[in-house]
Amino acid sequence: MSEAPGLLKKLMEYGKSDFYPFHMPGHKRQFRKSFAGNFPNPFSIDITEIDGFDNLHHPEEILKESMEWAAEVYGSHKTYYLVNGSSSGILSAISGTVSRGGTILMSRNCHKSAYHGVFLNDLNVKYIYPQLMGELGLQGGLLPEQVEELLINHPEIEAVLVVSPTYDGIVSDIRAIAEVVHRFQLPLIVDEAHGAHFPFGKKVGFPVPALEMGADIVIQSVHKTLPSFTQTALMHVREGYVDMGRLDRYVHIYQSSSPSYLMMAGIENCIQYMSVEGVKEMGDFYERINGVRRRLTDMKGLRLFTGSEKGKYGVYDVDCSKIIISTKGTGLSGAELDERLRKEYHLEMEMCGPDYVTAITTLADSQEGLDRLCGALLEIDSDLSLREIEEQGEELFSEGDMAMDSRMTIAQAMDGARERVLISDGAGRVSGEFVYVYPPGIPITAPGEVLKREIIDLIMRYQRLGLPVQGMEDESGKYLYVVKEIEIK
């Protein structure tokens, strides 16, 4: 028998290297920091549901007490520890608020897990589209008046699901959206996966969390922006518009039947740290991040997303911990900048788009790491020639530029008769599968939607740029499943 490829060895070697993580998880591998100081060898606490340690699927003792304590910290009526990531919370929230075959109003920039929830429950979807900040190619916020218009025109809607903040740190006016949704006696679900740090930083300049703005179910990935293990998350629930019993049933369906005590202890440890020391450190972190932003305003070609769009494009607030660098007009693509930062400077970004890169920063980032990021970006920027800076390049169509045309539900398209075609020949057909760039995992097209020529061109351009275009069953990325015998003229 051949030897295993050596994943552990490779991870250990990488951990000893000088590669710096501007990506999740939020602990940034800083195991010597105070948040990890009392955490033991993971093997020593990796147990199962033995006497005295309760059962996550029927909590009566220590886990019940821990989650009730967490609910007090966050001000929710109930808080769940999620060991299957935010995806399990999103699936639970959708299943727990919308009847099978019912209708949900959902922002079109939701994570793929939301679309999986739609598929699993054979739901109909009405979409609200984020505003588009054309100059930067980023998606803005959601307008409350558009939510209201859709709810008036579609009384069959049973729940509303929105993303705030977005992957890029854009926060919508959740208070106004919640007021609209509640006038229709419906629950508002907020995917706040990237805003787990908001409750602990709201007093020093970070956005106010969705739970305090009136949302009924809020899902947060503590591992994305806080010092916790990958795959750990929370779901906060407010009573009133949510069937608590139905939601509870689905939480236990989507959570593992063998929940990790290591992860649950990590969640509790993270909340404990953030509610005491972390709150104090968030102020220092806020100042350090704004120091980074001040330094990066000196760039001539590369551009920092500053958040000056606040108040426009549906942008209610901006999370300054997301460092978004636009390459528009420089002759560099986002993928090329991402590669240069990795290969030349050993800086690993969270993601890249066609013309930007995103760095996730957290309170665990070292000043040395932040200095390296600033130095690298300023050096790359100074190397850009005048010709490159003035070059306009190819005008980019974004999937946010127009509404998608859905001809059937996601479940109907995925479960019905399909056939495989070259992506280049797919214009006018109805997609039978997802296509997305991962990260962030927001579908460019979803099953049941018409593949317009602009969408086909966008997918192929993303592939040429070397972006991680995924979702198709064909691993080569050349073919796409479409609904058989349906062509839209």
Helix (H/G/I), strand (E/B), else coil: 484: strand
Q: For domain 286-390, give the CATH number.
A: 3.90.1150.10
Residue 103 forms beta bridges with which residues?
Answer: 124, 157
- What whole-number distance in Å separates Cα of residue 25 and Cα of residue 364? 10
Per DSSP (E only), the strands in 198-282 are 217-220, 233-237
Can you state the angle between helices 62-74 and 261-273, rounded to 10 degrees? 30
Q: Where are the alpha helices (DSSP H) in 29-173?
A: 62-74, 85-97, 112-120, 144-153
DSSP class of 89: H
pLDDT digits (tens, 9 = 90+) for 284-336: 999 999 999 999 998 999 999 998 889 999 999 999 999 999 998 898 999 99
| pLDDT(398) > 80 | no
CATH number of the domain located at residue range(s) 399-487 in this protein: 3.90.100.10
Burial class (CB in 10 A: 0-12, 13-18, 19+), 325: buried
Percent of the chain with pLDDT over 70: 95
Distance of CA 462 to the CA centre of its chain: 20
Q: What is the CA 374 to chain-centroid distance, rounded?
A: 24
Residue 428 in tokens: 């006018």
Which whole number is the average pLDDT over 226-238?
Answer: 98
pLDDT tens for residues 13-50?
Answer: 999 999 999 999 999 999 877 888 889 999 999 999 99
Residue 193, classed as helix, strand or coil, is helix
What residue has token string 């190619």? 137
Task: Give me the numbers of helices (H) and strands (E) for the chain, helices first please.
Answer: 16, 23
Residues listed for the chain? 489
Q: How big is the chain by its Cα radius of gyration, in Å?
A: 22
| Number of other CB atoms surrounding residue 72 within 10 Å | 11
399, pLDDT greater than 60: no
Pick from 6-15, 30-39, 447-456: least confident: 30-39
Q: Is the pLDDT of residue 390 over 70?
A: no
Domain parsing of the chain, residue ranges: 35-271, 286-390, 399-487
Q: Quick: pLDDT tens for 164-201.
A: 999 999 999 999 999 999 999 999 999 999 999 999 99
Contact present, 322 and 358 (Cβ < 8 Å): yes
Q: What is the 3-state secondary structure (H, E, C) of 283-331?
A: HHHHHHHHHHHHHHCCCCCCEECCCCCCCCCCCCEECCCEEEEECCCCC
CB 98 within 8 A of CB 258: no
Q: Place 392 in a pLDDT band, splitting at 50, 70 and 90.
A: very low
**Biggest alpha carbon–alpha carbon distance for the chain:** 70
pLDDT level of residue 1 (50, 70, 90 thresholds): confident
Q: Model confidence over 133-146: pLDDT tens digits? A: 866 678 999 999 99
The b-or-e profile of 156-187 (16+ CB within 10 A means b, else e) is ebebbbbbbbbbbbbbbbbbbbbbbbbebebb
pLDDT value at position 402? 56
pTM value surpassing 0.85: yes
The single-letter code of the amino acid at 310 is: K
- The sign one gets for the Cα dihedral 407, 413, 416, 417 is positive
Residue 113 and residue 442 in contact, taking contact as beta carbons nearer than 8 Å: no
Count the neighbouring beta carbons within 10 Å of the beta carbon of residue 464: 12
Whether domain 35-271 has CATH 1.20.1270.360:
no
Report the run of H or E that residue 188 belongs to, with start and end.
strand 188-191
Give the mean pLDDT of the chain: 93
Spatial distance between the Cα atoms of 169 and 166, rounded to a whole number of angstroms: 5
Tokens read off for 232: 């750990």
